[in-house]
Structure 1
Amino acid sequence: MSQKQYDESSFRVLKGLEPVRERPGMYTRTDSPCHMVQEVIDNAADEALAGFAKNIHVAMFRDGSVAVTDDGRGIPVGLHPVEGLPVVVLAYTVLHAGGKFDKKSGNSAYAFSGGLHGVGVAVTTALSQRVEVEVRREGRVHQIAFVDGGRQIGELVDAGTCGKQTGTRVRVWPDGKYFDSPRVPLAEIERLLRSKAVLLPGVKVALDVEQADGSMARQEWRYVDGLAGYLREMTAGAEALAPLYTGEAYAGADEDYAQGEGAAWCFGWFDGVQLSESYVNLIPTVAGGTHESGLRAGVFDAVKSFIEHHSLLPKGVKIQQDDVCGKMSFVLSARVLDPQFQGQVKEKLNSREAVKLVSSMLTHPFEAWLNQNVEHGKAIAELAIKQAQSRLKDAQKVEKKKSSGVAVLPGKLSDCESENIAENELYLVEGDSAGGSAKMARDRETQAILPLRGKVQNAWEIDPNRLFANAEIHDISVAIGVDPHTADAPDSVLANLRYGKLIIMADADVDGSHIQTLLLTLLLRHFPRLIARGHVFIALPPLYRVDVPAQGKKRPARRFYALDEKELATFRDRLLKEGYKPEQLEVGRFKGLGEMRADQLKETAMDRATRRVLPVTVDIDANSQTNALFNLLMGKGEASGRRAWMEAKGNLVEADL
C-alpha cells in the first residue's frame, strides 16, 4: 500500500481571500447568501448610525444579484498611506482591513459599528462571481469591479462629476457554488431592512424587487413610534397583560462607560405571544447574548424591588428572574463601543461588560416608572408572582415522586434551595479549596456544589455492583439521585434526578483534564442516560487573566480571561493594536480553581450570563467507535495498544505541560 508523501512541499499557505473561498462556513452562513449581502447593508447602516446617511435602498434582481445604495460619505478611493492601494480596493479584497478599528486613537471612521472581526465585506467579494462598486465622493463618481471572487480586480475609473451627491452603491452577484441555495431569501432581507428602519429614526429604508415583467415592486419602512411601534405591530392581536415600557439611556462624558454607550428598549407582556429581538450597533443578534442578559437582569431587579417595597410577595414564595422575564416580549438595541461577538456571523454578543452596561442603564428608570405607575407595576408583579407560585407547585409534584427511598445526601454537598429540577445545577468541583471558592461564587438558589477529593477512580471496568465501594462515586450517585444503569435503560431511570445540569469543573491544566476524563468515563459507562438526555456539561475556566489599565475617562480599566495560550495571544494582539504597550498589560496565570477569587470564578465559570460551558453529547451513529476508543484509552489490559496509539497520534495533542 503506497503512502502519501509528507515533506516541505506538503504545506500550503492560503493568501488573500483564499481562506474564505476554501472554508466559507468559517466566515459566513452557507445556507444562502443572505449574510454576505447583510455585510453590505450593515456598512450602509453604519453610515446612517454615524449620522451621515439618510437613505438606504436595496434592489433585488431576477438574475440573483442584489444592489445596496446609501447616501453616506462614500468609501475613500485615494491611496492608503502604508499599503499604497486605493482604500476601496483594500476594503473589498483584504481581510482585517476597515475603518472601524482605531476608535481609541480617534482615527476610526465610526464611533459605533457592528464589530471588529475585520473580515466584513471582503467575505462578500470572496464568495461572489462579481461585485461592482460605485462611489460618489468629493464631486466625482468612481467605479470599480471585482470578478471571480476577487481574483480579478478591475481598474478604478473616474466616471465623471456628481455635484454635491455622496454615497456608495454596491451590486453583488453571489456565487451559487458556495451556498445550499444561490438565491437571497426575500423574507430575511425584508425582516432585516424593517429592523434597520426601526433602529434608525429619520432614515428612509426601501426595498425594490424585480418582477417577471421587469417592473420593480417597492416596499418602504418608517416607524414613527420607533421600538414601541414595531413591538405593537409584531404582537398585533395579542392581549397586553401589562403596558409597554419604552426607554433609552446612554453614557455621558464623565461616566464609567465610553461616551454614547448604552441601549434603547421596549418590552411588555402579552397573552400567548412572545417576541425577543435584540441588536448591537444595528447588527441583529438572533442568538441573544450578554446585552439580553443585562436587560433581563435590570427588569428583574426593578420588579423585585417594587414587590418588596409594596410587600406584595406571599409568604413562602421566592421570585426568580424567569418568573418575571420568562413571558416578556422585548426589542433591545444596544450601542457598544467595542463589541465582541461569537463567531464571524455575529449572531451572539459575548462582551461581558454589556451585562452591567444594559442593566445599570435600565434598572433605576424602570423601577421609578413602576412606582410612578403603581397600578401597572402591580399588574406586572402579579404576573411574576403567579408564575412563581406555579413553579413551586410543579416542584412539589416532583418532590412527591422522589419521596420514597430517599438516601442521605453527602455531608460535603452544598445543596441549592430551589426544587425546580430544570433550573438546578450541580457542579462537580476538583478539590476542597476550589469547592470553597465555588460555594462563595454560586447562586444559592439554583446551584449546588459537590467538591471531589483527588482523582475519581477509573470506572471503565468496575463491576456495577462494586461501584459504591468508592466513596466519591457513591456521593455523586446519591447527590444526583440516579442509580447506575446501562445504555439501553429506559428514561425512567432518571425519574429521581435532582439537577437539570451536571457540570464538571476542573483546573485548566493536564491534571484537570485527567480528572475531567475520569468523570466522563464514569458517566458514559455507568450513567449513560444522563449524557444521552443532555444533562452533562463541562465548565471552561480560564488559564490566564489579563489586566488592562484605564485610558482616560472614556476607557475604564478592563480585565480579560483567556482559556489558553492561543486566546491569550489573540487578546495581546488586539490590545497592542489598540495602542497599549506590552509592559502595560499585566498577565497572570491561574495555578488552579482554588487560586481564583470567588468573583473571578463566578464571572468565568458560574454566572449564566458570562460563563463558558460546553454540552457533552454522544453521536448515536458512532456509539461503537466511541466505546472502542474509551476501551483503548481506559482499559487496564490495553497498555500496548495505548502505547502504539500514542506513538501514532501523539503529535496531534496540544498539552500544557
Structure 2
Amino acid sequence: MTQKQYDESSFRVLKGLEPVRERPGMYTRTDSPTHIIQEVIDNAADEALAGFAKNIHVVLMRDGSVAVTDDGRGIPVGLHPQEGLPVVVLAYTVLHAGGKFDKKSGNSAYAFSGGLHGVGVAVTTALSTRVEVEVRRDGKIHQIVFADGGRSIGELQDIGSAGKHTGTRVRVWPDGRYFDSPKIPQAEIERLLRSKAVLLPGVKVMLDIEQADGSFARQEWRYTEGLAGYLREMVAGAEAVAPLFTGEAYAGADEDFAQGEGAAWSFGWFDGMQLNESYVNLIPTVAGGTHESGLRTGVFEAVKSFIEHHSLLPKGVKIQQDDVCGKMSFVLSARILDPQFQGQVKEKLNSREAVKLVSSMVLHPFEAWLNQNVEYGRAIAELAIKQAQSRLKNAQKVEKRKSSGVAVLPGKLSDCESEDIADNELYLVEGDSAGGSAKLARDRETQAILPLRGKVLNAWEVDPNRLFANAEIHDISVAIGVDPHALDAPDGVLSGLRYGKIIIMADADVDGSHIQTLLLTLFLRHFPRVVEAGHVFIAMPPLYRIDVPAQGKKRPARRFYALDDNELNAIRDRLIKEGFRVEQLEIGRFKGLGEMRSDQLKETAMDHATRRVLPVTLDDVSSARTLFDLLMGKGEASGRRAWMEAKGNLVEADL
C-alpha cells in the first residue's frame, strides 16, 4: 500500500467562513436551516430586549428564503476603526466579531443578549447561497449582498432616504447542501416567534407566509399578561391546584450578582398537564440547564419551609425536590450578563452561578406568598407529600425483592438511602482515596459509591463462567443487581437493577481513560443490556482549576474548571479579554480525583446542577463489537498495529 506523504504541505489553514462550510455541524443544527434563521431573529429580539425595537416581522417566502425585519437602531455601516471594513460586513462574514462582547466593562452595545462569541449570523452567511442586508440608519437606506456562502461580498450601497425610520431587514436563502432538509419547519418558527412575544412585553411579533397565489397569510402575537398569560393559554382546560405564582426580580447595584441579572417566572401545578419552558436572554433553552435547577431549588426550599413551619409532614416521610417540582409547570426567563451555553445552538445553560441567582430570586417571594395564602400553600404541600408517600411505597416493593435474594452487597459499597431506581446512582470510582472524597461529596439519599482498587481486568475474552473469579467484577455485578448476560438476553435480565445511572468516574488523565475503557469493555461484553437501556454514564472531572481574583465589590472572586488544555486556553483567553493579566490567574492541575477536595468533586462531577456526565449510547452494536475485538482482543496485536499505523494520527492523547 502506498503511504501518503506527510510534510509541511500536508497542513491546511481554513480561513474566513471556510471552517463553517467544512464542518457545519460544529456551528449549527444540520437537520434543517431553522437555527441559522433563528440567529437573525435573535439579533432582532436583542434590539427589542435592549429597548430599541417595538416590531419584529418575519416573512416565509415560497422560494425558500426568509426575511426578518426589525425597527431597532440598525446595524452600524461605518468603517471599523481597527479593521477598516464596514461593521455590517464584519458581522456577517467574520467569525468572533460582534457587538455583544465587553459586557462587564460596559463597552458592549447590549447589556443582556444570547450572543457570546460573535459566531451567530456569520454562520448564517456561510451556509446560505445569498444574504441581503438592508439597514435604515442615520437617515439613509444602506444595502449589501453576500453570495455563495460569503465568498462574494457586494458593495455597500446607499439606495435611498430613510427619513426618521431605523432598523434592519435581512433576507436569507439557505443553501440546501448543508442540511438534511432545506425546508424550514413552519411550526418551529411559529413557536420561536410566539416565545419572543411572550418574553418581550409591548413588542408586536408578526409572521407572514407566502401562499400559492402570491398572497400572504399573517399570524400576530402580543401578550399583555406576559409569562402568566402564555402559561394559562398552554394549560387551558387543566384544573389548577393553586393560582399561578408570577413574578420577577433583578439584582441591584450592591448585590452579589451583576446589576440587572435575575429572572421572571410563572409557575403552578395542574392535574394531568405539565409544561416546562425556559429562556436565557430570550434564547430558548429546550434542554434546560442551571437556571431551571435554580428555579426548582428555590421552589423546593420554599415549600419545604412551609411544610416544616406548619408541621404538615407525616412521620417517616422525607420530602425530596422531585416530590415538589416533578409535576410543576413553569415558564422561566432568566437574564444573565455572560451566559455559558452547551454548544453553539445554545440548547442548555451551563453557567454555574445561575443556580444561586435564580433560586435566591424566587425563594423569598414564593415563601412569603405561601404564608400569605395558606390554603393554596397547603394544597401544594399535600400534593408534594402524596408524591413522597407514593415514592416510599414503591421503594418498599423493591426492598422486598432485594431481601429475598441470596447475594450480599459488597462491604466497600457505600449505598444510598433511597430505593427509587429512577433516581439512584452508583459511582464506580477509581481508587480508595478518590472513593473517600466521593463519599463526602455525594448526596446520601440517591448516590452510592463503589471504590475500585487498581485497574479492572480486561474482560473482553474472559469466559462468563470464570468472570466472578475477579473480585472487582464480582462486586460490580452484585452492587448493580444484574448478572452477566448475552446481548440477546430477555428484558427480565434487568429486573434486579438497583440504580438508574451507573457512572464511571476516573481521573482526567491517560490512566483514567484506560480504566474507563476497561470498564466499558466489561459492560459492553458482559452487561450489554445495561448499556443498551441507557444506564451507563461517564463522569467528566476537570484536569485544571482556575482561580480568578475579585473585581471590586460587585464581582466576587470566581473559580472555573477546565476538562483539558483546549478548554483551559479558552477560559484563559476569555478572562484576558475581561481585563485580567495572566499572572493574576492561579491555575492548578489536579493529579487525580483523590487530590480534589470533596466540595470541588461535588461541584464538578456529582452535583446534578453543575456536573458534567456523558451518557454511553450504542448506535451500532455490531460495529462497536468489531472495534472492541480489534482493540481489546489478545490475538489482535498485528491488527492493532495496522490500525495505529493507518489511524493513529487521529487519536488525541495526553502523552
Give the TM-score of the pair, scaled to structure 1. Answer: 0.96
Counterpart position of 2:498: 498
- 1:651 alignment partner in structure 2: 649
Q: Any idea what SS the aligned residue of 2:57 has?
A: strand
Whether 1:307 and 2:307 are equivalent positions in the alignment is yes
TM-superposition CA deviations, 1:27-65 (whole Å, max 9, x none): 122222221111111111111111111221222222222
Q: Which position in structure 1 is the counterpart of 2:625?
A: 627
Q: Which residue of 2 aligns with 1:281?
A: 281
Residue deviations 1:258-298 (CA, integer Å, cap 9, x gap): 00001000001111211111100001111111111111111
Residue-by-residue CA offset, 1:401-443 (whole Å, 9 max, x unaligned): 3332232212211110101011100101111111111111111
CA distance in 1, matches of 2:202, 2:111: 19
CA contact (8 A) 2:101 2:116 kept: yes
Whole-Å separation in 2 of the counterparts to 1:284 and 1:536: 29
Q: How far apart are 1:22 and its partner, in Å?
A: 2.1
Residue type matched to 2:573 in 1? D
1:467-486 deviation digits (Å, cap 9, x = unpaired): 32322222212211122222
1:208 maps to 208
Structure 1: state its 5+ residue gaps: none
Partner of 2:297: 297
Structure 2: 5+ residue stretches without partners = none
What CA deviation, in whole Å up to 9, does each residue of 1:283-328 have, x standing for no partner?
1111111111111111111111111111111112111111111111
For residues 360 and 493 of structure 1, what CA distance do their matches in structure 2 show? 45
* Map 1:63-78 → 2, pairs under 5 A: 63-78=63-78
Q: Which position in structure 2 is the counterpart of 1:104?
A: 104
Whether contact under 8 Å (2:241, 2:271) holds in the other structure is: yes
Q: In 2, distance between residues paired with 1:182 and 1:519? A: 42
Deviations 1:211-244 (A, max 9, x none): 3332332222111111000000111111112221
Conserved in 2, the CA contact under 8 Å of 1:402 and 1:495? no
Counterpart position of 1:51 = 51
Shift of 1:488: 2.4
C-alpha spacing 1:139/1:428, structure 2 compared with 1 (3 Å): same
How much has 1:449 moved relative to structure 2? 0.5
AA paired with 2:52?
F
Quick check: 216-225 or 455-464, which moved more?
Answer: 455-464
2:318: which partner in 1?
A: 318
Measured in 2, the distance between the counterparts of 1:641 and 1:15 equals 38
Alpha-carbon distance in structure 2 between the residues aligned to 1:448 and 1:566: 32
Q: 2-side partners of 1:237 and 1:150: how far apart?
A: 49
For the residue of structure 2 that corresponds to 1:75, the secondary structure is coil
Distance 2:226 2:266 in 1: 9
Corresponding position of 2:196:
196
1:546-592 deviations in whole A, cap 9, x for unaligned?
11112233332221111111111111111112221111111100011
Q: For 2:37 and 2:637, locate their aligned partners in 1 and report how far apart those are by CA, in whole Å.
A: 55
Q: Distance in 2 between matches of 1:601 and 1:508?
A: 12
Give 1:401's aligned residue.
401
Offset of residue 593 of structure 1: 0.5
* Distance in 1 separating the partners of 2:153 and 2:173: 15
Instruction: Give the Å deviation of 1:335.
Output: 0.3
Distance 2:524 2:175 in 1: 44
- 1:5 Cα deviation (Å)? 4.9
Equivalences for residues 462-611 of structure 1 within 5 A: 462-611=462-611
One-letter amino acid matched to 1:595: E
Which aligned pairs between 1:423-438 and structure 2 lie closer than 5 A? 423-438=423-438
Structure-2 separation of matches of 1:199 and 1:105: 26
| TM-score (normalizing by structure 2) | 0.97
Offset, 1:627 = 3.2
Q: Which amino acid aligns with 1:223?
A: Y
Deviations 1:112-152 (A, max 9, x none): 00130321111111122221111111222211111222111
Amino acid aligned to 2:506: A
Distance 1:453 1:177 in 2: 52
Contact 2:241 2:376 in 1 (8 A): no
Moved over 6 A (4+): none
Indicate the SS of the match to 2:267: strand
Q: How far off its partner does 1:649 sit?
A: 4.1
- How many matched pairs? 655
Q: What amino acid is the match of 1:277?
A: E
* Counterpart position of 2:253: 253
Give the CA deviation at 1:8. Answer: 3.7
Distance 2:626 2:192 in 1: 48
SS of 2:242's equivalent in the other structure is strand
User: Is 1:125 matched with 2:131?
Assistant: no
Please give the secondary structure, in 2, of the residue aligned with 1:241. coil
Q: Is the 8 A contact 2:91 2:118 kept in 1?
A: no
Pairing 1:23-422 to 2, within 5 Å after superposition: 23-422=23-422
| CA distance in 2 between partners of 1:70 and 1:421 (Å) | 50
**Aligned partner of 2:68: which letter?**
V
Question: Which range moved further: 477-486 or 640-649?
Answer: 640-649
Residues 328-374 of structure 1: per-residue CA shift (max 9 Å, x gap): 11100000101111111111111111111111111111111111111
* Change over 3 Å in CA distance of 1:640–1:134 after alignment to 2: closer
- Cα separation, 2, equivalents of 1:400 and 1:247: 46
Q: Deviations over 1:517-557 (max 9, x none)?
A: 22222222222221122111111100000111122333322
* SS class of match (1:134): strand
Q: Contact 1:432–1:453 at 8 Å: present in 2 too?
A: yes
* Distance in structure 1 (CA, Å) of the matches to 2:93 and 2:194: 29
Indicate the larger mover: 170-179 or 592-601: 170-179
The AA in structure 2 aligned to 1:333 is S
Aligned 8 A contact 2:98 2:117 in 1: no
Q: Is the deviation greater in 164-173 or in 467-476?
A: 467-476
Secondary structure, aligned partner of 1:143: strand
Q: Is the 8 A contact 1:253 1:553 kept in 2?
A: no
SS in 2 for 1:25: helix
Deviation at 1:179, TM superposition (A): 2.3
Displacement, 1:639?
A: 4.4
Cα distance between partner residues in 2 of 1:403 and 1:85: 74
Alpha-carbon distance between aligned partners in 2 of 1:375 and 1:470, rounded to the nearest angstrom: 59
Corresponding residue SS for 1:35: helix
Deviation at 1:6, TM superposition (A): 4.5
CA distance in 2, matches of 1:253, 1:183: 47
Give 1:392 shift: 1.6
Q: CA deviation at 1:633?
A: 3.3
Residues 140, 161 of structure 1: 8 Å contact kept: yes
Q: Is the 8 A contact 1:115 1:341 kept in 2?
A: no
Alpha-carbon spacing, 1:627–1:146, altered in 2? closer, same or farther (3 Å): closer
For the residue of structure 1 that corresponds to 2:569, the secondary structure is helix
Structure 1 residues 251 and 394: CA distance shift in structure 2, 3 A: same
Secondary structure of 1:189's aligned partner: helix
Identity across matched positions, percent: 87
Structure 2 Cα separation of the partners of residues 30 and 188 of structure 1: 15
Q: Is this contact kept in 1: 2:101–2:117, CA < 8 A?
A: no
**CA apart distance, 1:640:** 4.9
CA contact (8 A) 1:117 1:344 kept: no
The Cα shift of 1:2 comes to 5.1
Instruction: Find the aligned partners of 2:549 and 2:280 in 1 and give their Cα distance.
Output: 25
Distance in 1, Cα, partners of 2:509 & 2:177: 43
Secondary structure in structure 2 of the residue aligned to 1:400: helix
For 2:161 and 2:624, how far apart are their aligned partners in 1? 67
Contact 1:543–1:590 (8 Å) recurs in 2: yes
Whether the 8 Å contact between 1:464 and 1:526 is mirrored in structure 2 is yes
Deviations 1:568-625 (A, max 9, x none): 11111111122211111111000110111111101110011111111122344x42x4
Q: How many Å separate the matches in 2 of 1:140 and 1:204?
A: 24
Range that drifts further, 229-238 or 483-492:
483-492
Partner SS, residue 242 of structure 1: coil
